Structure 1
Amino acid sequence: MIKQLSDGRWLVDIEPVKGRRHRKRFATKGEAKRFEAHIRNRYATNPDWAPPKKDTRRLKDLVDTWYLLHGQTLTDGERRRNSLYGVCERLGNPVAAKLTGNKYTEERGKALKAGTSGKTLNNQLGYLRAVYNELFRLEEIDYTNPLARVRMLKLQERELSYLSVEEIEILFKSIQETAQLPHAYMVAQVCLSTGCRWGEAQALTPGRVKNGSVTFVNTKSKRTRTIPISEDLEARLHAHFRKHGLFSNCAPAFEKALKRSGIQLPKGQATHVLRHTFASHFMMNGGNILTLQKILGHSSLAMTMRYAHLSRDHLKDAISLGPKI
């Protein structure tokens, strides 16, 4: 039986075999249905219910089960699964229950020496931990997370690059001169004006541009957020949609213009530099860190605090209260 509870969640309450009852709550009806089907199938393939056999499933099998039961509901679920496939291959696709922290850190060290970035390795560890934790929560495995005590690599915090006013002018002039698609200039304007991610701006539709604001949906945090914009930008967006239609994938055009501009950025900060630029100038102009968190859509204030040092008041007491020479 599947039914919706008063708090909006969905309850699965089934007893495929007398005395073997399963009750679980899920956020969505889809998850509940998949769990019910999975339990019924498990009993159907083993009707006599002999004592459970030793779990000999390989790590990749566990990843596939995680994706079926939970991963496909995540915004980046498919990307995570593909990344985890690479981890499985690197580890030799061991029996999942026999993987140890020592084995994992040994193989991680080899990958680090081979050139895999520390950030990528930390992401992969987080993804794999989540697989074990979620399947244990769903009672799909009966052993605890073998990677629970493996520490993340301690990485040097990267400096956030942002554009100066002069560089902004150079960049947008370059976009006008080199972009083959008409959309790159306008998408870049939205990113610089709202601090949104490139994909969020690129997904805008005329219906989400109204009343002096833009509304971003299907965001990384899965939260819809609405950000004010100027009357001029709102008018130009609607004029653009009428003339050119919806935005297409124009990130390559932007990257081409960025390269031609001569502006040097750290690796991996092409379109994202516009988001950093908005946040940096917001703080330098006296903005509030909590307001910035809401504008950027960060689920954690810790992410937004990376920009705090740019505030004019940040740590100003170091001048007034420190020793005088």
Structure 2
Amino acid sequence: MAIAQTKTGWQVEFRVNGRGSRKYKRVFPTKAECDRFQRFTIAQHETQSDAKPWLERPKDTRKLSELIELWDDSHGHFLRDGKRRKSKLLMIAEQLGDPVGSNLTRLEYTRWRAQRSKEGKSPKTLNNDLGYVSSMFNTLIKAEEIHYPNTLTTVDNVKVPENELSYLMHDQITELLEETKEGDNPHVYLITKISLSTGARWSEAEGLTVQRVRNNQVSFTDTKSGKNRSVPITPELFEEIHEHAKLTRGNSIFTASISSFRRALKRTTIELPKGQAAHVLRHSFASHFIMNGGNILSLQKILGHSDIKMTMRYAHLSPDFLEEAVRLNPLSSGI
């Protein structure tokens, strides 16, 4: 290896790996440039030598069910719904014919999804399926368990029609509370009040313990979003909950009461869209919160929504929004 001055500049001459290897000979304006070229070229040769690009990675022939087991061992069993999700993934693999994972194509998946849709599966179910499979592939790629791209990243979700969010008016709330109070289950009335007062899901209110009701607030743990949250309540409701807790044994305040609630709801004159029962209590809290001037960001925290888009479903009930609709419509100028 040598760098020498010539009539036209500086010449560098070297071999990348000793005798027998490729020889480089170049002329540059400066000696420093010669040195940089020499070091760069040798480094490039060493990197390519380590990579051995002529040795192709053998094709991954593991079936989708094998990848699911691999995903479960390294990641899935840590999830709260890991067992359910694994069961769902194995069902999908079976219905797809358990193909080799690296062979699963966008077309193959979308055709299977179209068939599921014809069988009556809802858009939400179809989108959940896509999310589970795509997430599994992404997790395995990140862990370097597989070395091929996730072909499902280009598959779009099915458009989900926005469901009607019913909420109870004041007279309906009064009717429902009276019916739950007169029922045969001593827990239904108070669980209903807690849900209406805090926006809690029925399971969250039903699962309260004595330790989670303190300082005029209730704390919800093991929630759908995985995040704990606390919501203030009135001193009267706080006392009512603790008085009720004296009637039960152990740490739990309530027992399973959803069936009793549904029976009480049926005895009222309230009519709800299909699929809505106890969840109408959560919708009622959110709707009245916004109609009474509540802040949308505060509502997001109270409800525990991880995505503000979920909370924005109630934004149209804001009094400011409604007032502007009246004040700013094209007929408001007296045409």
Does the residue aligned with 1:160 lie in a helix, a strand or coil?
Answer: coil
Question: Are 1:94 and 2:99 counterparts?
Answer: yes
2:198 aligns with 194
Mapping of residues 1-325 of structure 1, within 5 Å: 53-178=58-183, 180-245=184-249, 246=252, 247-314=254-321, 316-324=323-331, 325=335
TM-score (norm 2): 0.77
CA–CA distance in structure 2, aligned partners of residues 184 and 79 of structure 1 = 29
| Contact 1:182/1:244 (8 A) holds in 2 | no
Cα distance in structure 2, aligned partners of 1:140 and 1:148:
18
Shift in Å, 1:52: 6.1
The residue type equivalent to 2:330 in the other structure is: P
State the one-letter code of the partner of 2:299: L
- TM value normalised by structure 1: 0.79
Greater shift in the superposed pair: 140-149 or 181-190: 181-190
CA distance in 2 between partners of 1:256 and 1:57 (Å): 50
Over the residues paired in the alignment, what is the CA RMSD in angstroms?
1.9
Q: CA deviation at 1:315?
A: 5.7
Query: Matches of 1:85 and 1:124 in 2, distance apart?
Result: 11
Unaligned runs of 5+ in 2: 1-54
Q: Which has the larger radius of gyration?
A: 2
More off after superposition, 183-192 vs 117-126 = 183-192
Task: Check 1:282–1:129 CA distance in 2 against 1; reply closer, same or farther (3 A cut).
Answer: same
1:97: Cα distance to partner?
1.6
CA distance in structure 1 between the partners assigned to 2:206 and 2:134 by the alignment: 33
Deviation at 1:95, TM superposition (A): 1.7
CA distance in 1, matches of 2:329, 2:190: 47
Shift of 1:124: 1.1
Q: Distance in 2 between matches of 1:117 and 1:323?
A: 39
* Contact 1:161 1:273 (C-alpha < 8 Å) held by counterparts: yes
Q: Per the alignment, in what secondary structure is the counterpart of residue 261 of structure 1?
A: coil
List per-residue Cα deviations over 1:97-132 (Å, max 9, x = no partner): 211111111111111111111111111111111111
Q: Distance in 2 between matches of 1:263 and 1:318?
A: 29
1:248-284, CA deviations, whole angstroms, 9 ceiling, x for partnerless residues? 2211221222223242222332221111110001011
How much does 1:91 deviate?
1.6
Q: Which moved more, 1:89-98 or 1:123-132?
A: 89-98
